[in-house]
Chains A and B, each alone.
Chain A
Amino acid sequence: MSAHPALTVDGLVKTFDLGFLGALPGFGWLAARLGIKGIAHRVHAVQGVTLSVEPGEIYGFLGPNGAGKTTTMKMLMGLIHPTAGSGTLLGRPLGDREARARLGFLPEHPYFYDHLKPQEFLEFYGQLFRLTARERRDRARALIDRVGLGYAADRPLRRFSKGMVQRIGIAQALINDPDLIVLDEPMSGLDPMGRKDVRDIIFELKQRGKTVFFSSHILQDVEMICDRVGMVVRGKVVSEGPLHALLDVPSHRVEVVLGDIDDAVVERLSADAPSPTQVGAQWRFAVSDESEVGAFVRDAIAAGARLVSVTPQRRSLEEVFVASAQAGDAP
């Protein structure tokens, strides 16, 4: 196991100077100072993101649309130059070619050279890693099978569906057998089977000691596979940590399930636990304060209800996500 983190980001900042004259040196800054809009304006896409990913872990990078996830990833991948801050990939500074030789990347909504067939496509990427002709051929064949595209091996990529493009995109990210794999929305555009396949690939990579850093909007997937998550809102990381630590924060909410209960009792109990939901012959009540559960259950039993279960509620990732987003949006 390597001594250094697989990926670090230290105070990464990206400011875009946009508008007609925004690209001219100094104009964006001047326009921001003078409050001029239209001809030049500044957008602070990333405002000091700091995080660290340990070797062998699966790290979920979360955040609402426009939070700065993709911009951060692009800076890590050398596609855009940071305004300030630094980072490392596999212990080497950003942009280092040796680190990039051990890196795999899948961008969001990928689009590839659609005149190529899968084998040609993957062999082309293999050449960029200086793989031998034999390595290129063998790895390309194996990866085409691994991502389930063996049946489309003779088709040019322009005849691929969105899900197939996503699969071949994952294959190109793995052509060099990378140690660190960065995936921007890898589940995007995939059906449930496709999402499961991607999750399986990510798990398999972890089992082989690889590090996976990925962003996703599909929280269910993140919850299923991540060791740690970082949440970015408005260009800043607002919470970061092991998934269990984020989710195990007591919510003080308890779910009580009751059976053999008539409408009058439901109405009366709703005063203490509003908006119960009916599931078959049972009713689910959410008691917001665990100190009131005893009294609630006693009332219910006294009214003739049958107690089915009492379950303390764990926070869902969605709740953590919404709370983080709201905290980040607060002035």
Chain B
Amino acid sequence: MIQIYAVGLNTFREAIRNRIFASLVMFAIAMLLLTLAVSSASLHEEVRLMKDLGLFLVSTFSVLIAIFIGVNLLYKEIERKTIYTIMPKPIHRAQFLLGKFAGLAWVMAVQVAVMGVVLALQFWLLDAHFGVEMVQAVWLAYMEVLVMVAIALLFSSFSTPFLSGLLTFGVFAVGRFVDRLATLQLGDPSERTEAQEQISAVIRGVAKVWPDLSLYNVTPNVVHGAPVTWGFVGSATLYGLTYAAVVLLLACVVFQRRDFI
């Protein structure tokens, strides 16, 4: 356990001391502050717009930053050969990978928390209430980030950052709408062909194993005042952690077989 902690702490330190990460976070905060100006310009819709745009930015920027760092994490270790001095130590490759995940999860927790605090400050400036549903929404955005970090690590355990980034972003983009694919039925019910039926079944099958990221987008509920139950938050959290754990397990299997040339 101490090895996972050591690798995680080192990953956290490296990211926090990295100027690119600092620039990305500053840019994300700047964009968030821009929502204050946009919201203030709207007539009587300031708070609604702030919730909508604010949560969109927290979620999207966090995922993009997570993908950017995640796909580079293992690649950098191998490319810069820092891994050459780690692997001969009494540490299992899986421990190293889990340490990298833990470190990035920690970094992203700070990043999401900072954006959440900035968003809350803007509510305070507008004299609006930053309710529990906003906290729930930010928490779920973080859960989505954890799933994406695990997926980025899986792809980067065997491919280049560019390809890993492309694949991870693809999973993210489809994952946001996968709930619609889960019930997809191609063609008109009255004149549906067998081919359409089979393709629909395949898409529905893929949708079942694809990460359902729509669970983590509760912005419509928050904006329209529909409650988000703690039960839902709990099950979405459990789903995210389980999904991340399975993906990490796969990543460990791939990473275990890899040669560090």
A-to-B contact residues, CB < 8 Å? 16, 74, 77-81, 97-98, 100-101, 103, 105-107, 109-113, 115-116, 120, 124-125, 127-130, 169, 172-173, 182
| Contacts A115-B13, A115-B14, A115-B17 given; does A128 touch B259 at CB 8 Å | no
Set of chain A residues within 8 Å of B129, measured between Cβ atoms: none
Are the C-beta atoms of B88 and A77 separated by less than 8 Å?
Answer: yes
| Contacts A100-B90, A101-B90, A130-B2 given; does A112 touch B260 at CB 8 Å | no
Q: Is B38 an interface residue when CB atoms closer than 8 A count as contact?
A: no
Set of chain B residues within 8 Å of A16, measured between Cβ atoms: 259, 261
Separation of A13 and B156 alpha carbons in the complex (Å): 28
B83-104, CB < 8 A from A? 83-92
Are the C-beta atoms of B88 and A115 separated by less than 8 Å?
Answer: no
Set of chain A residues within 8 Å of B136, measured between Cβ atoms: none
Shortest beta-carbon distance from A92 to chain B in Å: 12
> What 11 additional pairs, Cβ within 8 angstroms, besides A116-B10, A128-B89?
A77-B84, A78-B87, A79-B88, A80-B259, A80-B260, A97-B90, A105-B85, A111-B82, A113-B82, A127-B2, A129-B90
Are the C-beta atoms of B5 and A127 separated by less than 8 Å?
Answer: yes
Are the C-beta atoms of A110 and B259 separated by less than 8 Å?
Answer: no
Separation of A98 and B83 alpha carbons in the complex (Å): 19
What are some 7 contacts across the A-B interface (CB < 8 A)?
A77-B87, A103-B88, A105-B85, A112-B82, A124-B9, A128-B89, A128-B91
Are the C-beta atoms of B14 and A169 separated by less than 8 Å?
Answer: no
Contact partner, A79, options B6, B14, B18, B260, Cβ 8 Å? B260
Set of chain B residues within 8 Å of A107, measured between Cβ atoms: 81, 84-85
| Contacts A80-B260, A115-B13, A130-B2 given; does A169 touch B90 at CB 8 Å | no
Separation of A80 and B87 alpha carbons in the complex (Å): 10
Are the C-beta atoms of A80 and B88 separated by less than 8 Å?
Answer: no
B71-86, CB < 8 A from A? 80-86
Shortest beta-carbon distance from B137 to chain A in Å: 33
Set of chain A residues within 8 Å of B90, measured between Cβ atoms: 97-98, 100-101, 128-130
Q: Is B200 an interface residue when CB atoms closer than 8 A count as contact?
A: no
Shortest beta-carbon distance from A128 to chain B in Å: 4
Separation of A81 and B259 alpha carbons in the complex (Å): 6
Separation of A317 and B46 alpha carbons in the complex (Å): 82
Are the C-beta atoms of A116 and B84 separated by less than 8 Å?
Answer: no
Set of chain A residues within 8 Å of B86, measured between Cβ atoms: 128
Shortest beta-carbon distance from B200 to chain A in Å: 32
Are the C-beta atoms of A116 and B13 separated by less than 8 Å?
Answer: yes
Contact partner, B18, options A77, A81, A115, Cβ 8 Å? A115
Separation of A98 and B88 alpha carbons in the complex (Å): 11
Q: Is B40 an interface residue when CB atoms closer than 8 A count as contact?
A: no
Separation of A130 and B77 alpha carbons in the complex (Å): 22
Q: Is B217 an interface residue when CB atoms closer than 8 A count as contact?
A: no
Give the nearest-CB partner of A121 in chain B. B10
Set of chain B residues within 8 Å of A98, measured between Cβ atoms: 90
Are the C-beta atoms of B14 and A113 separated by less than 8 Å?
Answer: yes
Are the C-beta atoms of A100 and B85 separated by less than 8 Å?
Answer: no
Shortest beta-carbon distance from A105 to chain B in Å: 4
Are the C-beta atoms of A127 and B18 separated by less than 8 Å?
Answer: no
B1-25, CB < 8 A from A? 2-3, 5-7, 9-10, 13-14, 17-18
Set of chain B residues within 8 Å of A80, measured between Cβ atoms: 259-261
Set of chain B residues within 8 Å of A115, measured between Cβ atoms: 13-14, 17-18
Set of chain A residues within 8 Å of B9, measured between Cβ atoms: 124
Shortest beta-carbon distance from B211 to chain A in Å: 26
- Most chain B C-beta atoms within 10 Å of own C-beta, residue among A107, A120, A173: A107
Set of chain A residues within 8 Å of B89, measured between Cβ atoms: 100, 125, 128-129
Shortest beta-carbon distance from B225 to chain A in Å: 46
B134-148, CB < 8 A from A? none
Set of chain B residues within 8 Å of A103, measured between Cβ atoms: 88
Residue-wise, chain B 224-261 has the 8 Å CB interface mask toward A (1 for contact) of: 00000000000000000000000000000000010111
Are the C-beta atoms of A78 and B14 separated by less than 8 Å?
Answer: no
Give the nearest-CB partner of A96 in chain B. B90
Are the C-beta atoms of B88 and A124 separated by less than 8 Å?
Answer: no
Are the C-beta atoms of A128 and B6 separated by less than 8 Å?
Answer: yes
| Contacts A80-B260, A124-B10, A125-B89 given; does A110 touch B3 at CB 8 Å | no
Separation of A71 and B259 alpha carbons in the complex (Å): 11
Contact partner, A127, options B6, B85, B88, Cβ 8 Å? B6
Set of chain A residues within 8 Å of B259, measured between Cβ atoms: 16, 79-81
Give the nearest-CB partner of A14 in chain B. B259
Shortest beta-carbon distance from B13 to chain A in Å: 6
Shortest beta-carbon distance from A119 to chain B in Å: 13
Set of chain A residues within 8 Å of B85, measured between Cβ atoms: 105-107, 110, 112, 125, 169, 172-173
Give the nearest-CB partner of A71 in chain B. B261
Shortest beta-carbon distance from B69 to chain A in Å: 14
Separation of A265 and B219 alpha carbons in the complex (Å): 102
Give the nearest-CB partner of B95 in chain A. A128
Set of chain A residues within 8 Å of B260, measured between Cβ atoms: 74, 79-80
Set of chain A residues within 8 Å of B257, measured between Cβ atoms: 81
Give the nearest-CB partner of B14 in chain A. A115
Separation of A110 and B83 alpha carbons in the complex (Å): 10
Separation of A173 and B89 alpha carbons in the complex (Å): 10
| Contacts A74-B260, A80-B261 given; does A128 touch B3 at CB 8 Å | yes
